[in-house]
Amino acid sequence: MQNFNRITFDPNVMGGKACIRGMRVTVGTVVGLVASGYSNTDILKAYPYLEEEDIQQSLSYAAWKVQEIEAPLNIYEGN
> pLDDT at position 70, please?
67
> pLDDT at position 1, please?
57
- Selection from 7, 41, 11, 1 nearest residue 25 by Cα: 7
Report domain extents, the chain: 7-61
pLDDT (tens, 9 = 90+) of the chain, 79 residues, equals 578 999 999 999 999 999 999 999 999 999 999 999 999 999 999 999 999 999 999 999 999 999 877 667 666 655 5
**Residue 25 · residue 50 · CB < 8 Å:** yes
> pLDDT at position 67, please?
86
- State the fold for domain 7-61: Arc Repressor Mutant, subunit A (1.10.10)
**Residue 28 · residue 59 · CB < 8 Å:** no
> pLDDT at position 30, please?
98
Q: What are phi and psi of 54, to 5 degrees?
A: -65, -40
Where do the H-state alpha helices sit in 1-79?
Answer: 27-35, 40-46, 52-65
